[in-house]
Amino acid sequence: LYADLTELARVHDDGGRAAGLAIKAAVREATGGLTCSVGITPNKLLSKLCSEFDKPDGLTLLGLDEIPARIW
């Protein structure tokens, strides 16, 4: 699942951490306890890559300034 959070109020205050945690909690509640890994980045491709970094049940945040060190 991909969701563009750009227009979400205050999402940039913490790099998306609160939004990511809220998504994970909503999935857990809606599914009766299933976990998910979330990647919050500047674009869809990076988000998909980052959602794989900290499995299972991870939350990976990646800002533009971190891309060279963490991806390349």
Chain segment 23-56, per-residue pLDDT in tens:
999 999 999 999 999 999 999 999 999 999 999 9
Q: What is the pLDDT of residue 72?
A: 81
Mean of pLDDT over the chain: 93
- Is the pLDDT assigned to residue 1 strictly greater than 90? no
61/51 Cα distance (integer angstroms): 9
Q: Which of 50, 48, 67 is nearest to 58 (CA)?
A: 50
* Selected residue with higher pLDDT from 63 and 71: 63
Q: What is the pLDDT of residue 14?
A: 94
